[in-house]
Amino acid sequence: MIFAIAYKNDPMTCDLIEIGPRDTKGHEAFFRFTEEAFTDVSFRLWADRGGWDDRFTVFAMLLDGEIVSTIARTAMRLIVDGMTVDAYQLGAVATRRDMRGRGHLRHLMTHILALPPLDDRPVFVFGNASVTDLYQRFGFERIEQRAFSLDRATNAHAAHALPVLDMASPQDRLTLKAMAATSAPLSQDFCAIDYFPIMLWHLTYFGQQARRIAERNAAVIVSQTGANLKIHDVIAPEPFALDPYFDGLALSDCNAVSFGFDPTSWLESESIDRLRMAPDDGNANPFFARGRPSPHGRVTHYPELAKT
């Protein structure tokens, strides 16, 4: 598909292309573009580890054969008010610095949102704060979420550290992928399911650890900053109380635990009673959705490791 876009008084013609999982030439062009647009990470290592599957498609604008703007689309499965729903998440929203403000993202968004079956499925995005007007222009609504935390002292020396699944290991990646495919939902209100490729992105670039709890056939994704243990995600066939495992999950002694999801199905009743819930303003990457994601309004905390 070709769009003619006017740049001030000079019309330029840009090509719109789709890059799928087997388009290796397109992959290389996308990697070069993202290495310039996102200076902190590259999609290359994630793709080498098997992250780019049939659910992930990049839509790109080309000028003189070079990518100048992209939006990626990921097919998702959600739990919304206890029901399984097909949806799409958008990401990799970027334009080359010298081509910004010329309508590329607007054309890409118009094209993507008109594609069947996306035109009648929920669509959401964790937007860059600098382009929030773009989402609102296309009917996206900003959705407030909640942050969860718990005052809880842990003694990392009181328990053996739980073993780590290493994402540099092909076997460990296959193990976690298989576990994720059958994992219980983190919440029945609003969450994603079976999102291993996105989880792999976070584990590849942002330093979380996937710690294995063998007796539960579970993996718990954690990181720690100072005295705060962050539990980002839980991969398990059914919910269980995380409380007895806090010491083994901690990287060092800490006095607080925070969560990257709504943990109320994963804690003992005493901890639920002491759980703190506060507005999560998401200033860096606010949450936008076309239509309210839950008709009953129960959106507490979309899983952090399911965000593109």
User: Taking the complete model, does pTM exceed 0.85, yes or no?
Assistant: yes
Say what the pLDDT of residue 43 is. Answer: 93
Query: Tens of pLDDT along the chain (308 residues)?
Result: 656 565 555 566 788 999 999 999 999 999 999 998 887 778 999 999 999 999 999 999 999 889 999 999 999 999 988 889 999 999 999 999 888 888 899 999 999 999 887 667 889 999 876 677 889 899 998 888 889 999 999 887 766 889 999 999 999 999 999 999 999 999 988 899 999 999 999 999 998 999 999 999 999 999 999 999 999 999 999 999 999 999 999 988 999 999 999 999 999 999 999 999 988 765 678 889 986 676 666 677 899 999 99
Say what the pLDDT of residue 292 is. Answer: 65
* Number of neighbours of residue 160 by Cβ within 10 angstroms: 9
The residue extents of the domains of the chain are: 2-145, 146-278
Say what the pLDDT of residue 283 is. Answer: 60
Fold entry, domain 146-278: Aminopeptidase (3.40.630)
Q: What CATH number is given for 2-145 in this structure?
A: 3.40.630.30
Equal CATH topology for 2-145 and 146-278: yes
